[in-house]
Chains A and B, each alone.
Chain A
Amino acid sequence: MQAISFDVAKLLAGGLVLTSFLMLYQVRLPAVLNVLALHSLILALAVAWQAHVQSEPALYITAAITLIFKAILIPEALRRIVEKLGIHREIENVTNLGITMLAGVGLVALSLEVMLPVTMHADLLTRTDVALALSVVLLGLLLMVTRRNAVSQVAAFLSLENGIDLAAAGAQGMPMVVELSIAFSVLVAILVIGIFLFRIRERFDSVDMQALDAFRGDRR
């Protein structure tokens, strides 16, 4: 039983990292959002599995929140925004994909290298989970840095947040209140970012971040 539970947890966490790589590879916005939904779905599964393994009923609620909000509502909302903005057919201008993927591989290696010795005394389940969660966070950051479009930056931010959630679920004894507040803060962030996207669009006829930079004052 111990072996099975460990293998499944590792499979789901690994699946999350793999999905992050998938997102890194997508250049069309609807595709990015689809992968984000998949990313959140896998996270929900991973959290549910943790709930089962740790026999922690509170974690089921977290999994349900993740499933409803992050896997269904938020991607759907973003998809509508993209359609409303009329940019769903655009191909995003990204930095060299090959190099980005290689950098991603390097980041995963780095996070394993850092995390495995640090969590030496934790149990096996937590160790791999935390290491893989850190790689998901780093990949999310990498995605944010390499993308220009505001919507894909939002998607990158959400995937980063998923990584944090994974680590939180893996660490036993995380209080429910913290998880709820994290979920709530993400929701608020999405609302704010959504409003801002439309405002930006109204002003500059684009959600490309480069257009924003050109309008900044006080440049010397």
Chain B
Amino acid sequence: MTTLLQVKGLSKSFGAVRAVSNIDFTIREGHCVALLGPNGAGKTTTIRMITGLLKQTSGKMEFQGAAEGVHYRSLIGYLPQSPSFYSWMTGSEYLIYAGQLCGLSAATAKLRAKALLERVGISGAAKRRIGSYSGGMKQRLGLAQALVHQPKLLVMDEPVSALDPLGRKEVLELLRELKQETTVLFSTHVLHDAEVLCDDVIIIRNGQVALQGAIDRIRENHRKPTIELQVEQDEHSQRWMSTFSRRIQSLLNEKDEGALFQDVQLQNGIARFTVSEMDAARRMLIEELAREQVKVSRLEVGHTSLEDLFMKVVTG
């Protein structure tokens, strides 16, 4: 698999504020990559630098196939968070215009526009003014205009964030099909969207890459066994619960890498232990519960999810 885009040491400062600092990543051809992070992490700034709309303070980007005389912009299709068009144009006119600006001839642009309008499912509104389009339709038109010149890389900034649940589902469906055809980079603050669509994920926080890699591998590597424990409401059991959690918590503070318990969270009367070895931890816990005669109401064994990891990386 060849590399399509390599980003090295990309940084952007606005005055004294460092919005993005020293980001490195590569995007391989045919992959779908999510730029994941909370709001304000620097996703949009990164995207805008990649598209060339914003000049980076330092760092560089290398596009494969950006040969002499071909501006790399012609290799990128861009869809901003809430694209805005010329409301007085029709959808079809805008696509033809966009195509011609990308260097297509008028005739080719016309053909592409027609095909794409059909592709994104708004051919019925092709002759209507864009001003009358709904948010979902504008997002579809935005996708169509990003694809009009058949870019090597489709870059999208929060493509579904501004949509209602139905529009969101439809556009996600469309993106799932599109990623078969081209390399995709998109930013999102919703882990679920990344999980549904992507091969690779780059998690950024405070303008820096916190974690990156293939999403499956990240899930595997960071998957840890967990035990969830819930006890009855009686005083004895509740008291045991809080002392036990405190004991584990104080053990955690010693920062022992090989410790049986890695993490504990007490929430709504449910304790969630992240453990290094399930069997030992389970045995130890059950013995303790029996000895102390705690009334267990629920004991469940599971795994940390990507969501847990995301929350940890983003807040930690």
Decide whether A and B are members of one complex.
no
Which A residues fall within an 8 A CB radius of B?
Answer: none
Which B residues fall within an 8 A CB radius of A?
Answer: none
